[in-house]
Each structure stands twice: as structure tokens, then as C-alpha cells.
Amino acid sequence: MATLSKLNPADHALPRNEGLPFDPEVIDGLQVNLSAVERRTRSLGGRRSVKKDYQAAWLLKAISCIDLTTLSGDDTPRRVKRLCAKAKQPVRQDLLEALGMADRGLTTGAVCVYHTMVETAVEALQGTGIPVAAVSTGFPAGLSPFETRLEEIRQSVAAGAKEIDIVITRGHVLTGNWKALYEEVKAFREACGEAHLKAILGTGELVTLRNVAKASMIAMMAGADFIKTSTGKESVNATLPVSLIMVRAIRAYEGMTGFKVGYKPAGGISAAKDILGYQILMKEELGLNWLQPDLFRIGASSLLGDIERQLEHHVTGRYSADFRHPMA
């Protein structure tokens, strides 16, 4: 088995992103070459081939970066407890033993729930080090009253959430009101306190890649610790072209400030072969640090089942039925 490191959830040991004062000149010059973006992302699958033990290693690493999520109207404490059990033991023990990984403490990167389930998840994960993330600020539309959105954040933090996934007001992007977007995300960041803020841009609703680039930069300037593509509820969610734009913004921001900001593609990633493209993108554009769960998360719970199937195929040479890899 190829060497793996840091399989445990993020300890958030990196310095927090302190942000920058609002400066419209930072985003005024941002441009996107669409044909170059499409050419770059098309090349990812063709130029890199990860096979056998190395593929298994990359997939195990992907598991450690998954935000295992349930965001359904019929969520119950029992469902959330089952999800937490899966987060603690994401791969069957017999497969881990066959892969030589039984003693590595593999878990998912976090568990993500609505506010009402935060306390249940925190209790179920006590002592594991797995953080609980809460979606907030009127998720998924982000159109509830501003003070209500701030109070949602405060209450989730008080309940034990270590990460807050906020949604921006997409209307600020579509109207070019960058100052309003900056002030909004900055206020959300302050309400988070010690909890890390993951800013969901809703890229499928931002119309252009240039808007994605500008929204990414504004969110980081306002203090976001992560930028995230989607809520998973839009008609178009994570894509490689959008991801390239966002990780290039992260790289530019690090060059400006020295702060490392994390990235989270979410929605539309359900096959193991798909996540390899995102991992290759992170490695080639940002480096090995961004393959760790403190800087890379994946919002794709259904992905875990397919990764488990691929790992079983690697061990046994046979594909198994989905029911052999239940969520809990």
C-alpha cells in the first residue's frame, strides 16, 4: 500500500485567515480565459493515471476529507447517530485489514448537519476528534433576515459546531455589489468566533466564471477559512472548471497574504473516479498540503459508498452490491 499520512480529521492547526480590508482594485482586474480553463480541466483525466495500490491510497485519503452529510427534511436523531457511526468507521474493518490500514484511525473529515442536529452529532462524536459542521445563514437560499442568519451561526457554535457552512447572498454577486458581499461574509466570520467559516458561493447560480473568481476572492478577503462551490441543492454544483477558478483564487490569495485557505467542492460528485480528478487538480495547482482535510473537504456523502466498493474490488477482484456498504 502506498504511504498515507494524516488520515485523522483536521486539527485546524493552521493560522486562521485574518482577511484583508476591502479593496475593489483587488478584484477589478480579475479575468478568466474560458478556453484555457476548459483545456486545462480536460487534460486532468488524460495525463494522470492512478492505478492499483496508488489508486487505493488516493481513495483512502479522499475518505479522510469527506464531510459526511445529511441535510434532509426528515432527518432524525437516530439517522444522525447512524451517520456519525459511519464517520467513525467509514470502511469495513475486513477491508482495512486487507489494505494494511486497520490501525490508522481512518475517519471522515467532519459530519455536517442542520442546526437542530448539532448537539446530537456532537454527543455521538465525543472523544473522536471529528468536528461537527453546521449549515447556516438560511441554507440553502441564504435569503432569511440578516440578524436571523447571524443568530443561526451563534446558536450552532454554542451547541458545539466547530465549522459553519454559510451561504452568501448570490444577488450581491449578480449585481456587482462587492462591498455588500464583503461586509456580509465579514459579519458571518465574526459571529463564528473560534469556529471555522466555510463560505458557500452557489457557483451554479453565479452565471460566469469571472463572477466565481471575484466572489472567491471577496470571501477570502472577508476572512473565510474555506471557500465551497455549492449547497448541493442547485441545478449545477461542483465542476472541474469552477474548481480550477476557485483554487487559482486561493493560490493568488496565499501569494498576497501568506494565508492558506481551504477548498470544498460539493454536490455532483458521486463516483470514485470523479474525485481523483479533483485530488489531482489540488495537488498540481496548490500542492500536497491541499490534499489534507484541514485544507480540502468533499461535500459528497454518496461518494463514500462507491469508494468502499472500489476498495473491495481492489482487495477481492470483485465488485459488490451497494447494500454491502451501507451508510451505517
The domain spans of the chain are: 51-316
Query: From CA 133, how far away is CA 228, in angstroms rounded?
Result: 13
> Rounded to whole angstroms, how far apart are CA atoms 201 and 187?
16
Q: Which three cell numbers stand for residue 156?
A: 450552532
Q: Are 137 and 149 a contacting pair, CB within 8 Å?
A: yes
pLDDT of 14 > 90? The answer is no
Residues 207-252 pLDDT 10s: 999 999 999 999 999 999 999 999 988 889 999 999 999 999 999 9
* Enzyme catalytic residues: 165, 228, 264
Task: Please name the amino acid found at residue 120.
Answer: T
Q: How much is the pTM? A: 0.93
Q: Which class for 47: exposed (0-12), middle (13-18), buried (19 or more C-beta within 10 A)? A: exposed
Q: What is the mean pLDDT of residues 266-289?
A: 93
Whether pLDDT at 2 is above 50? no
Q: What is the mean pLDDT of residues 107-129?
A: 97
Range with lowest mean pLDDT among 112-121, 172-181, 211-220, 232-241: 232-241
Helix axis angle for 301-316 and 52-63, nearest 10°, is 150
Rounded to whole angstroms, how far apart are CA atoms 228 and 224? 10
120 Cβ contact list (under 8 Å, min separation 6): 77, 80, 81, 113
pLDDT band for 319, please (50, 70, 90 cuts): confident
Instruction: Please tell me the predicted confidence (pLDDT) of residue 300.
Output: 83
**So what CATH class is 51-316?**
alpha beta
**Angstrom distances, CA of residue 133 to CA of 123, 216, 288, 294:** 13, 20, 24, 13
Q: Would you state the pLDDT for residue 7? A: 52
Q: Could you tell me the pLDDT band of residue 328, with boundaries at 50, 70 and 90? A: low
CA distance 88 to 128: 7
- Give 188's contacts (C-beta < 8 A, 6+ positions apart): 137, 149, 150, 153, 164, 166, 197, 199
**34 vs 5, more confident:** 34
In which element (H, E) is residue 68 found? strand 67-69
Rounded CA gap, 273 and 240, in Å?
13
Contact present, 164 and 195 (Cβ < 8 Å) = yes
pLDDT at 204 over 50: yes
State residue 129's pLDDT score. 95
Region at 223 (left for phi over 0; alpha for psi -120 to 50; beta for the rest): left
